[in-house]
Structure 1
């Protein structure tokens, strides 16, 4: 099975939200928390949201926030210090959503998609 670049082969965990009363309201999140090599705790300190998605019918109803909160708890239980992610720098609605959930921009990688397009913005939330 192909991981399609979202970390499945690195041990990403997938979580879903589904409302049984409203079939079209669902969401999914993939979180990666890699185990550190023996004798090192460097990787344990962080976890990454690889992908998050909410069905169009369920947007702006708190499902994305529920998924992020669950990802935080998952990472916290494993000893992670922070949760981070990246998104397209011109996706202002998504960046605002992450900001509403306590994530702050910490870096930008410019023009990775070409000279006329913005790059990626990295966001982080301290979870301890």
Structure 2
């Protein structure tokens, strides 16, 4: 395995960040009445996935803290899946966009679970 010097080199971070940005741009077209409800929630949870990965990276010298923040990230990714389902059912996103984001977040979750199950691979 190659040495990773920055959290930005992690594939899980890259996908989480890219997905959060995709959601940000998509939600610009949501109805204005969703501003403080759905838009706020989905943007917050999607951004928290990447933000918690960043926090976990700095805590990797302490395996329990590392895993704790990765668990937070996993939880936020799962919440984002919920908001994506709501977005689809409300007609704010189409099936193809929904499925792509669902696949991306499921992939993020699987990478996070792998890191959670193998914290020693990541510690300093």
Normalized against structure 2, the TM-score is what?
0.31
Structure with higher strand content? 1
- Choose between structure 1 and 2 for higher RCO, CA contacts under 8 A separated by at least 6 residues: 2
Name the one with the larger helix percent: 2
Q: TM-score, normalised by structure 1?
A: 0.31
